[in-house]
Amino acid sequence: MKQNVRPLIGIMTATKSDGTIAGNASLFKRLQKKLISQNGISFIFTLEGVGEDQITGYQFDPKDGLWKKEIFPFPDLVYNRIPLRKVEQTKAFHRFIETLIERKIPFFNPSFIDKYQLYILFKDHPFLKQYLPQTILVQQEHALFLFLQKHKSIYLKPASASKGKGIYRIKLLQDQIHVEGTKNLLTHFPSFQLFWQEWQEHLLNNPYLAQEDIHSAEYEGNRYDFRILVHVKNGVYSLTGIGIRQSQDQGITTHIPAGGKLLPYHLIRSSFHEEFIERIIEPIGEALTEKIGYFGEFSIDAGISKNGKYYIYEVNSKPMSFDEPEIEEVKIERLCQLFQELTKFRPNQKNTI
């Protein structure tokens, strides 16, 4: 490893069951290239590689396009990109975070964000609560039935899933229950009791939220919502980019992995959308940091109803890659700026390890 480059950024990821390294390799490579241009360097590592005073990790070499295993000192900053929720629940993860705190090493993105935890956090927030769809935790048959009776159409969402996985829409039509999934699964039950008998084990063993179905605004006949990317810049949460996702064959979700479509932002752009987005960014970042820990980045899933009311659906730590190249380019710039800001190393500043 070169010994004359700072900052040294450690990107924390995880090992998959087959022993290979998980994570967004494309992101890691692009960060390494950008850091090198600023006289910095990065390496990826897993908890298994953490020792008492050094870390065994992998450094990407852009010259030959290869990952090289090396031993590194503890980094100047740790960027948490662990893609597996279960890893963040281990004793090894919590011990490592304690070590970073003891060594005064900054880190950001402390954990995944549980959907119900987020709802509880925001529903008591004096400003953000106005943008929340009505939501309950699925725990009892009667409470879920009353919630469905009230709204007639609701979503069932796993509290700890992402990318639109495991989402269903339940409708009460007369006395029948209609269940629709992202793969156009459509099941009918003649009564709520029969629905509950078949679904209760799944809904209670995998914590689920029930959320009112918002009748979203549409563009050319299909609903759309916002994907908003945020990073800290000069100590303030600020907008990195806005993407639009539109439902297609199924109307359950707009997530692209579940069949959604990218829609150019300029097609629905308005000053009202931008005012809403700018107003929610800082309060969300401050609330997350106060209650959970320091998030240097996050993405927001938000939307607008047909009658013009805005909603916050989800906030995601460790955002997925955006399909818009221009947003991805700004993201790399913002992350490297944040690395420099938190480590107090200026770009191209010569320092030695």
pLDDT at 166 over 90: no
The closest alpha carbon to 227, from 269, 255, 268, belongs to: 255
pLDDT over 50 at 333, yes or no: yes
- The pLDDT of residue 297 is 97
Neighbouring-strand partners of residue 218: 223
Distances (CA, A) of 246 to 119, 262, 319, 352: 24, 6, 18, 49
- Show the domains of the chain with their CATH numbers: 8-109 (3.40.50), 115-131+216-317 (3.30.470.20), 135-210 (no CATH)
Confidence class of residue 253 from pLDDT cuts 50, 70 and 90?
A: low
> Residue 255's pLDDT is what?
58
Strands 297-304 and 261-263 come out as unpaired
Q: What's the CA dihedral at 225, 307, 269, 279 to 10 degrees?
A: -80
- Number of other CB atoms surrounding residue 344 within 10 Å: 11
Sorting pLDDT into bands at 50, 70 and 90, what band is 327? very high
Q: What is the mean pLDDT of residues 133-141?
A: 96
Among 126, 84, 103, which Cα is nearest to 286's? 126
Q: Which stretch of DSSP H or E encloses residue 251?
A: none
pTM of the model: 0.91
pLDDT (mean) for 112-136: 95
Q: Residue 275 CB: number of other CB atoms within 10 A?
A: 11
Higher pLDDT, 137 or 19: 137
* CA angle, residues 308, 314, 318, in degrees to nearest 5: 135
pLDDT score for 186: 77
The two counts, helices (H) then strands (E), for the chain are: 7, 18
Say whether pLDDT at 352 is over 50: no
φ/ψ (deg, to 5) at 178: -110, 130
Q: How far apart are CA 250 and CA 155, in angstroms?
A: 14
Q: In this structure, what DSSP letter does residue 305 have? A: B
Q: How confident is the model at residue 295 (pLDDT cuts 50, 70, 90)?
A: very high
Rg (CA), the chain: 22
Please report the pLDDT score of residue 251 as a whole number: 58
Average pLDDT over residues 72-95: 95
User: Using CA atoms in the order 196, 197, 202, 204, what is the torsion angle rounded to 10 degrees?
Assistant: 70
Look at the block and give the residue holding tokens 């100590």.
Answer: 235
Query: What is the percent of the chain with per-residue pLDDT over 70, rounded to a whole number?
Result: 91
Helices (DSSP H) in 38-185: which residue ranges?
91-102, 115-123, 141-151
